[in-house]
Structure 1
């Protein structure tokens, strides 16, 4: 309940209400894009300033290794589960969506930890960046394997599926393009670049950028969550139309992923704040970067499926309930 009384979360609730009653409240796309870039830049600076104090320690390396492990394990687990209920292409797309991360969920969790005065490592912003691309790459590899099997006559697919006649050379070229887009994505480059700036400038940079990355942060986050509330409300009805199995996965999958992250944090003896952020990253699902790539990389999949589940179900659950629950559990286990 305390999390719901946070101003940023209350603005998210206002957005959900406005979207549900079909209000004409709108945030222009250009402003929404600016807010997203601002939050990533401010988060990168915060992480860099914190990392300039802590340095590169064994705990930092363990956290980053755990993040990479989860980024590989979660989409494989998701694909293995979902393949029984939906087509291979849809299973790969949904698994990639849930194997990647939500930057907004991470930013909200960072703000929550600061409100709770629970310290965390600035390197966790780098962990977020590392976790975004592996799931996309694995989805493309799985899709190419399905296409290869289909073209070889090993599996039967329904009509209307695009790209089954693509040759392996073209598929390799497409994978190369996806790899390039994944590792040169502007949002990731901004995040990591801002982190480097914070790391290099240290305390002097923190003082200079405080009005930008500190004082404005809370208000900008509230404004952006208002827009996210509108989007979540408008994507919930399509998500409701999905099978009960997929709805269950959108709710229970993040809990399972967060539990895996908690287990890793316990084994690696990570600090509580880092453990919370690792859990939030594992439990989150992408609704910006991954869907944008999958529309072109997996045209055989249904965008309404993975976008509706991630933004209509999982994102609101994590923002309003998940973050405080993950924090409470991590405090009990990792203290």
Structure 2
């Protein structure tokens, strides 16, 4: 196990991430232009989406139905487990919802690093898993916001009698159109789903055009992105410390719990060692792109310093250094 972690630790993507953290801690003047940071995010979203679509075109829907349902299951159940755990930490409800959405969703970059880890160790995996990344982005966000609206409506109904607008009671108008729009048509989901559909429709016909940029250069661009993420994570670390040891432990231990559940679910669905590992990565990672974007407009009372600081400052580096090889070892043990 220690050898696997060490091999992962000395990979270029992890070392450049650590370099970014050190630059932030020692207050270096290193920084990425906003435009470049945005461009790198867009690149990774398109690359993962289109590769997933191309791979998905090689499979019948019958063969991927089980893993797809498993993905929706993970995206739906993790928010409930998160809220249950945070109830014992005595976290307020709005911030608990923020963490439920964040930890139920996925980290695209952690997934990308896991692919690099498997490639370095010559471990194969089902190509359709790239498509599962896209499918797991939205369920947790929608479930978490649904629970928030449900709680708010129940609180209102205890004070004011239910009113009817047209034929729909206000108590049933749980998620407004803006929430749905943010969750489905936000930048991250739009690029991932759009790229996935394009890759799925075109299949191998798209490879000659997309391979030079979105496949051959993927790992090199990932290094640049992780250097920038290291800078951001290093800046967020002090914010996490302000919220106490219990929250810090949640950021370190919950990925192990969720990742283990993901590995078991992947193994139950008959996925390979690499595929089950990636299911663990999907379940154990936390979003810092799609979920925060939705939370910013839908739950403004939730503090970004908590959900973004914890996901980016604690869980992301933990997964990058320890989590990915740990999920691999758990999958290997189970299989």
Q: 1:47 aligns with which of 41, 49, 52?
A: 52
How big is the shift at 1:149?
Answer: 4.2
3-state secondary structure, aligned to 1:83: helix
Residue in structure 1 matched with residue 85 of structure 2 by the alignment:
81
Give the whole-Å Cα distance in 2 for the aligned partners of 1:112 and 1:321: 12
3-state secondary structure, aligned to 1:27: coil
Give the whole-Å Cα distance in 2 for the aligned partners of 1:148 and 1:200: 42
Change in Cα spacing, 1:299 to 1:194, as seen in structure 2 (3 Å) is closer
Give the whole-Å Cα distance in 2 for the aligned partners of 1:107 and 1:88: 32
Structure 1 runs (4+) greater than 4 angstroms displaced? 168-171
How big is the shift at 1:72?
Answer: 0.5
- The normalised TM-score by structure 1 is 0.89
Q: How many residues align?
A: 320
3-state secondary structure, aligned to 1:40: helix
How big is the shift at 1:235?
Answer: 0.5
Change in Cα spacing, 1:181 to 1:117, as seen in structure 2 (3 Å) is same
- The normalised TM-score by structure 2 is 0.89
Where in structure 1 are there 5+ consecutive unaligned residues? Answer: 155-167
Which has the higher mean CA deviation after the structures are superposed, 38-47 or 139-148? Answer: 139-148
How big is the shift at 1:170?
Answer: 10
Residue in structure 2 matched with residue 292 of structure 1 by the alignment:
293
Residue in structure 2 matched with residue 38 of structure 1 by the alignment:
43
Q: Aligned runs of 1:134-283 on 2, under 5 Å? A: 134-151=139-156, 169=170, 172=173, 175-283=176-284
How big is the shift at 1:174?
Answer: 5.5
Q: Does 1:307 align with 2:308?
A: yes
Change in Cα spacing, 1:300 to 1:194, as seen in structure 2 (3 Å) is closer
Q: CA RMSD in A?
A: 2.1
How big is the shift at 1:123?
Answer: 1.8
Residue in structure 1 matched with residue 66 of structure 2 by the alignment:
62
Where in structure 2 are there 5+ consecutive unaligned residues? Answer: 1-5, 160-168
Which has the higher mean CA deviation after the structures are superposed, 254-263 or 178-187? Answer: 178-187
Give the whole-Å Cα distance in 2 for the aligned partners of 1:89 and 1:136: 13
Change in Cα spacing, 1:142 to 1:192, as seen in structure 2 (3 Å) is closer
Give the whole-Å Cα distance in 2 for the aligned partners of 1:267 and 1:307: 32
Give the whole-Å Cα distance in 1 for the aligned partners of 2:203 and 2:174: 41
Change in Cα spacing, 1:153 to 1:209, as seen in structure 2 (3 Å) is closer
Residue in structure 1 matched with residue 322 of structure 2 by the alignment:
321
Structure 2 contact 106–136 (Cα < 8 Å) conserved: yes
Change in Cα spacing, 1:294 to 1:170, as seen in structure 2 (3 Å) is farther
Q: Does 1:113 align with 2:113?
A: no
